[in-house]
Structure 1
Amino acid sequence: MRSRHQITVPGPEVKTTGGVVRGITTHGVHTWRGVPYAAPPVEELRFRAPQPVVPWEGVRDGSRYGPVPVQERIGEFIGAGKETPMGEDCLTLNVTAPTTVSDEPRPVMVWFYGGAFVVGASSAPTYRGYDFARRGDVVYVSVNYRLGALGYLDFSAYGTPERPIESNLGLRDQIAALEWVRDNIAAFGGDPDQVTIFGESAGAISVTTLMATPSAHGLFHRAIAESSAPGMVFGQRRARAWAAGFVTALGADDDPLAGLTGATPRQLLGAAQVLRDHLGDQPGTIPTAPVVDGDLLPESPLDAFEGGRAADVPLIIGTNDTEGRLFELPRMRLDVLVSEERAHTMFALTQPELRDQVLAAYEDQPFRKDLGGDYMFWYPSVRIMQAHRGPVWAYRYDLTTPVLNLMGVRATHGMELYPVFGLADSSAGKWLTALGGRRSLRAMQERVQADWIRFAREGAPASHWPQYDPETRLTKILDRTDRIESDPRRERRLAWEGFRGYD
C-alpha cells in the first residue's frame, strides 16, 4: 500500500514568464516538471546561446520531466535510462516546493548535475530533491543543460556572421536558468535574493566556474561544490584543437559548418566517442568542458579565485577520500590518471620539474593511483579553499561501507550523493549497504542534509564546523564519527604546491 506521501494528485497552477504551468502534488511536495527556461536550441538555434523562452497558450502540463540532453544511455542513476525521452529540446527545469503556506519567501537551492559534461539529467531519480523541500522548507530547482558536443565543445571558429556559433553553451544555459530563477521563483514561494547553487563533479565544476563568470555574479548568493575539478577548464588553443579533431571525426573537414549544423544527434555522439578515444596523448584532460573564451569566461576559475575576482559568496567545498578509484572500474570514461605511465606523460606536458616530488608523496600509499583523484579533484579544490575571499567551509567525505571496501574503491567519487539526496533507503542505497553500514549512512544523511539546508537558509553550516583559512586549514572529515582536522594530508599538499596543470 502506498503512503499518503506517494499519492500523486494535480497541483497548483503558477504563472511564469512563459505562461501558466500546472504542477502535481506527490511525495508530500508540490512539483512542476519540464518547465522551459529558454527557447528550444534546435535547427537555427543549434550551437547558439540560449534565447528567451517561447510563450505558450493555455495551461502547460507540469507533471512530466522534459527530454534529457543528448547523451549516451548509461542508466538512470545520474543520466538517461532506456525509456527516458531524449532530444535537443532539453532546456527545462523542475521546481519542488513545500505544500505548506509560508508568510516569508523561502530560500532557493539550484542543483546542477554531474557526469563529465557528457551525461546527466535533472530528471534522474537521484536528484528529485523531495527531502530538501519537505525537511528544509526550501524551494528546490534542478536544471537541464546541454552536454557533450552540443554544449561543451568550442565550435565558434566555424561560425559566420550569417550563422554564428557561440562558445560555452552549457555554461550559458546555466546562467539562463539562474536568470529564470531570478525572474520567476517568487511565484513558487522562493526568495530570488537567497539562492544557493550546488552541484557534484561536472555540476561542481559548473559551480566554481559560475563563481568566476562575471555575468553570473548576483544571480546566486551561496555555493556548494561537491568534488569539483576546477582545473578542467581550458584555453582556446586546446579547445579549438579538440573542436578540429571532432570535425574530422564527423567527416566534415570540407564544410565544418554544414557538417555540424546538419549532423544527427547520433552522428554527433559517434564523433565525440572517436575524439575521447584519441585523447591518450593528453592524459588528465576532458575535451567537453568550459573554455576560457575571453568573452563569457575571461579567465580560468583558478586564476579568478587566486586573483580575488571570483564571486565572494559563502562556499562549502570538499572532495571524497579516494576520488580517483571510481575511474579504475570497467567502462568508466573520465580520463583520470590511473597509471604511472599516464602520470609521467601528464607531467611531461605540464611541469616536469614537479614529477618526482609529487610521485614521491605517494610511494607509501597502498593505492598509488590515488594520485589521479588528487590531481583532478582534491588539490585544485584546496587551491580554491585557500584563495577564496568569501567564507569557506571545507570537508572530506570518508564514509565507506563493506560493499565499497570489497570493491576496493572506498569513499570514492560520487559517494556523498547518497547522504546529500537521502538515498540510504533507496534501491541503490540498499545495494550499497547490503553487507552493512546502512545505519551509519542514515545518520550521515541526517547530518549532511542539516548542514546543507542550514547553509542555504543562514549562509553557514552547523556551528561545530569551523571556517577554513590558509593558516589552520581546518577541515571537517565526514565519517561514522565526524571530526575536525587541521591541514589533512599536509605532505601531499606540499608536494603539489606550485602545480598549475594544463593551460
Structure 2
Amino acid sequence: MRTFTISCLLAAVSIQATLAQVLIAPETDMNSTTLPSGATTAPTPSPSSTSAANTRVSATATSSLILNSVQALVDNNLEVGGANFPFILLPDQRIAARSAASCGKLGELLFSAQSRTLSSVQKMLAQSAPNATEFWIDTGASDPNYITKCDTLVMNNGQATIKTGGSCLRLLPALCSNINTSGKVTVSTSLGLVTGARDPMGFRFQGIRYAKAPVGSLRFAAPVPITTSWISAVDATAPGNKCPQLGDVPGGNEDCLFLNVFTPKLNADKKSLLPVMFYLHGGSFTTGTGTDPAFNPANMASRGQVVVVTINYRLGLLGFFERVDAGISRSTVPGNMGVRDMLVALKWVQDHIGDFGGDASKVTIFGESAGGHAIRTLLSMPAATKNLFSAAISQSDPIDLPFNDIKTASTVIGGGAMTLLNCADLACMRSKNISDILNAQTTIVGQAINMAPEESFLELIKPSIDGLLIFNNFDQLIAGKDGGIHKAPLMIGTMKNEAIGFLPSLGQSTPMPPTVFGLTLGTILGYQRSMVTIGYNLYPIDGSNPDGVREAEGDFASDYLWICPTQYLAKAYAASGLDVYQYQFQKGYNPNRPSGDLCANHVCHGDDVALVFASPALMNDPEHYPWTAADAALSRMVMDRWTAFATTGGNPNPTAYGGDSYPSWPKYSSSNQNVYLFDTTPSVSAGGLRPQFCGFFDQAIHYDFQL
C-alpha cells in the first residue's frame, strides 16, 4: 500500500466523466488520502474560463478509487416528465478534492447548484440529511483543482444558500450531479460481488438467485438457499427467468428462483439504512412474475426512499403439489413449496439487504390479489416467519377463499395431476416435461369448477393447511388457536368493485338473463345459502339496466369475497390488540377500457397497482397508458401512505417533506370502524363499509373460511 500526498490525490481528477462499470466498495478510512496500490491517475485539463463548471471533471472511473455511501435523491412528483433528478448525496465527510474523485467514480461531477433551483435540493436534504449543514458543490467559482478555494451549499433552518471561496481542506459531505445514469455498479456482499445497473432514480439489481434451481430431484422439494460464495461478480443487470405458467403471457423456466432489488442508497452505515418493502405478485398462484413492468418499483424506491424487493416464487403444481394421501411424505414433498420460496427469499433479505442499503430490522411485506393472499399466509405462520418482517400490507386479498385442506390439496390437485399424467410415483412426476404439467394443471382447475365449485372459485391452487407451516385458517389463528399469528401492524383493503372484472372471464356478456344471478350465487354459496340470500333481496336486479344482472352479481361477489370478510377480519385483528388500518379505493387507474367493459365505470380488482407503484412503464407509453396530472396526484397520495407505513413500521400517515393536506388516517377499531377512502378527495368513513350487507354475511350466511 502506498501513501500519496494531497497533490497526488488531486492528480486523480480526470476528463473521464462516464464509466463502463463502477465498484462501490466500503472504505476502511473515509478521510484517508491512501489509495490502493496500483491506482491509476490522469492529469487534469484546465477548465475553460467561460464555462468552468461544465468542463470540470471528476476522478478517473476505475475500480481502484475508493467510494463509500451513495444516495440518489430525486424530487419525484410521479408526473410524466415532472421528476427532477437533482443530485447524488455522498454523506461521508471528505475534503473537496476527495469528494470530486468520489463523484467521478460514478461518472459524475460535483453538483452545479447554479444550474437548477434550490427548492427541490433543500427539500431533499432536509429529509435525508437533516443533521448536515454544509456540502461540497461546484458553481464554477471553485479552484479547478479544489486546493485553495471551494464552493459549498449551506443549509440553515431548512433553507439552502450557496457559499463560494471557502477552504477546500475541511471535511464535509458532498453533492454530485446525477446525469450519467446508464452505467453499472458493483456492490460487495457476503456471498461475493454483484453487478447491477444505475438509472436516474437510483440502482437496480435484477435476477439475483436466492435458491438453487428447483429442477431434477429438487422439483417439488423444499427450496435450497444459496449459501456458497462466488468468485466472479454476478451479473444482476437483467431479470432472471419467470416461473413456468400459462395465461396471458405464457412461458417461463423451471430455474426461476430469482429476486430483484431497487434501492436509492448503497453502502449505508447501520444508522442510515433504509426501510425495506418486500412485494409478492398476484396471479392466482398460477401466473405472474416479480419483474412485471406493471409494478416496476423504481419510482416507489426513489420517492419513498425505501429499498424494494420483488421475487419469483414457484407457481401452480410446481409450487403447490402434495400427495400425502398416496404415501409421498412431507419430508420428500413438503407441499406449499411456493410459500417456502417466499420464506427463503425473506431470509435472504435478512442476511444480505444491508449490502444494498436496506434495514433488515424494518421489513414490510406487501402484495396484491394472490399476493395479498400470500401476505395472509405469512401472517398465519408465526413460527416460520419469526424475525423476518415487522409490518404487512394486504391489497385485495380474496379473504373468503380459505386455505386448502389436505383433501383438496392432496387428492383433488395432487391426485388429479398424477392421474392425468399417468404417474404412480414421484419419480414419474419429476420426469414429466413442463408443458405436460401445465396442461394437467389447467385440466384439473377446469374439472374442479364442475366437480367441486365451492373449492375452485378464482383460486383452486393455493396454500394449504399442512400442519408444518400453517395450522389453521386466518380467522381461527387471530382468535389465538394453533399458535396464533405473526403479530405485526397491518394495512388491509379492497377496491370498490372487486369482482366485476372477473365476470367476462366466466363467459358472461351483456345482457344476461336473471336466472344467471341465482346460478352464480349457487356456485359460490351452495344451494341453501344462496336461497337465503335471494330471499333477503339484498341485490335486486335493475330491469332498466341492460347490464343489471352482472351489476348485481358483481356487487354480491365483491361484498362476499372481498369487502365484508376483509372488514370482518380487520375487526378481529383490532380486537386482538394489534394495529390495523383499513382502506378502500373509490377511484382507480383503468385507462383505455372500451365503453362496453364493465370496469370502464367501476373500480375493479387490480386498479390500485398502478397507483401504488407509478411504474415508469406507464409514463413511457402514453398511447396505451395516458397518465394525467390527476393520476399522478392520486398516486402520490397512495404511494406516500404505503411508504410511510414501511418507514414508521406501521403508521400510514406521511411525514416526509412535511406530509400533505389530506385527512389523517385513523386506526380501525371495533367501535369506530374507520376506513380510509382513496378518491380524488380522500375521506374517512367512521361507520365501516356497507353495514347492511356485511352484517347479513357476518350473522346469517357466514364465510367459507368459517364453514
Match of 1:477 among 632, 654, 677: 677
- The alpha-carbon deviation at position 431 of structure 1 amounts to 5.9
Rounded Cα–Cα distance in structure 2 between residues aligned with 1:73 and 1:280: 17
Segments ≥4 residues shifted beyond 6 Å: 2-6
Question: In structure 2, do the counterparts of structure 1 residues 8 and 331 end up closer, same or farther at CA, with 3 Å as the change threshold?
Answer: farther
Matched, 1:397 2:585: yes
Matched, 1:57 2:253: no
- The alpha-carbon deviation at position 422 of structure 1 amounts to 0.6
Q: What amino acid maps onto 2:354 in structure 1?
A: A
- The alpha-carbon deviation at position 152 of structure 1 amounts to 2.0
Asked if the contact 1:203–1:228 (Cα under 8 Å) also holds between the matched residues in 2, the reply is yes
2:618 aligned residue: 426
Rounded Cα–Cα distance in structure 2 between residues aligned with 1:332 and 1:194: 45
- The alpha-carbon deviation at position 27 of structure 1 amounts to 3.5
Question: In structure 2, do the counterparts of structure 1 residues 28 and 403 end up closer, same or farther at CA, with 3 Å as the change threshold?
Answer: closer
Question: In structure 2, do the counterparts of structure 1 residues 262 and 204 end up closer, same or farther at CA, with 3 Å as the change threshold?
Answer: same
Question: In structure 2, do the counterparts of structure 1 residues 466 and 431 end up closer, same or farther at CA, with 3 Å as the change threshold?
Answer: farther
Rounded Cα–Cα distance in structure 2 between residues aligned with 1:100 and 1:15: 11
2:97 aligned residue: none
Aligned-residue sequence identity (percent) comes to 26
Rounded Cα–Cα distance in structure 1 between residues aligned with 2:679 and 2:652: 17
Asked if the contact 2:645–2:652 (Cα under 8 Å) also holds between the matched residues in 1, the reply is yes
State which drifts further: 8-17 or 488-497. 8-17
RMSD: 2.8
Q: What amino acid maps onto 1:368 in structure 2?
A: A
2:165 aligned residue: none
1:316 aligned residue: 491
Q: Structure 1, unaligned stretches of length 5 or more?
A: none
Q: What amino acid maps onto 2:349 in structure 1?
A: V
Rounded Cα–Cα distance in structure 1 between residues aligned with 2:465 and 2:532: 25
Match of 2:342 among 174, 177, 199: 174
SS for the counterpart of 1:216 is coil
- The alpha-carbon deviation at position 57 of structure 1 amounts to 2.9
Q: Structure 2, unaligned stretches of length 5 or more?
A: 1-80, 86-177, 509-515, 543-547, 655-663
- The alpha-carbon deviation at position 64 of structure 1 amounts to 1.4
Rounded Cα–Cα distance in structure 1 between residues aligned with 2:437 and 2:528: 30
Q: Which has the higher contact order (CA 8 A, sep 6+)?
A: 1
Question: In structure 2, do the counterparts of structure 1 residues 217 and 342 end up closer, same or farther at CA, with 3 Å as the change threshold?
Answer: farther
Deviations 1:345-367 (A, max 9, x none): 3322785685446x622226751
Q: Rg larger in 1 or in 2?
A: 2
Rounded Cα–Cα distance in structure 2 between residues aligned with 1:424 and 1:34: 19
State which drifts further: 29-38 or 276-285. 276-285
Rounded Cα–Cα distance in structure 2 between residues aligned with 1:226 and 1:210: 14
1:368 aligned residue: 552
1:238 aligned residue: 408
Match of 1:251 among 393, 403, 422: 422
Question: In structure 2, do the counterparts of structure 1 residues 169 and 231 end up closer, same or farther at CA, with 3 Å as the change threshold?
Answer: farther
1:455 aligned residue: 645
2:323 aligned residue: 155
Deviations 1:354-405 (A, max 9, x none): 5446x62222675111222322222221222111131111111111467558
Rounded Cα–Cα distance in structure 1 between residues aligned with 2:580 and 2:541: 31
SS for the counterpart of 2:344 is helix
Q: What amino acid maps onto 1:360 in structure 2?
A: N
Q: What amino acid maps onto 1:342 in structure 2?
A: T
2:18 aligned residue: none
Q: What amino acid maps onto 1:311 in structure 2?
A: H
Match of 2:257 among 85, 88, 91: 91
- The alpha-carbon deviation at position 451 of structure 1 amounts to 0.4
Asked if the contact 1:404–1:411 (Cα under 8 Å) also holds between the matched residues in 2, the reply is no
Rounded Cα–Cα distance in structure 1 between residues aligned with 2:219 and 2:592: 44
Asked if the contact 1:159–1:165 (Cα under 8 Å) also holds between the matched residues in 2, the reply is no
Q: What is the aligned length?
A: 484
Question: TM-score normalised to the size of structure 1?
Answer: 0.89
Asked if the contact 1:33–1:93 (Cα under 8 Å) also holds between the matched residues in 2, the reply is yes
1:501 aligned residue: 704
Asked if the contact 1:5–1:26 (Cα under 8 Å) also holds between the matched residues in 2, the reply is no
- The alpha-carbon deviation at position 99 of structure 1 amounts to 4.3
State which drifts further: 276-285 or 62-71. 276-285
Rounded Cα–Cα distance in structure 1 between residues aligned with 2:247 and 2:591: 29
Deviations 1:443-473 (A, max 9, x none): 1101001101111001201170111112221
Match of 2:394 among 225, 232, 235: 225
Deviations 1:223-253 (A, max 9, x none): 000001234312112222322122222232x
Rounded Cα–Cα distance in structure 2 between residues aligned with 1:432 and 1:54: 43
SS for the counterpart of 2:704 is coil
1:9 aligned residue: 183
Question: In structure 2, do the counterparts of structure 1 residues 465 and 350 end up closer, same or farther at CA, with 3 Å as the change threshold?
Answer: farther
Superposition pairs of residues 257-296 of structure 1, within 5 angstroms: 257-281=426-450, 282-283=452-453, 284=457, 286-296=459-469
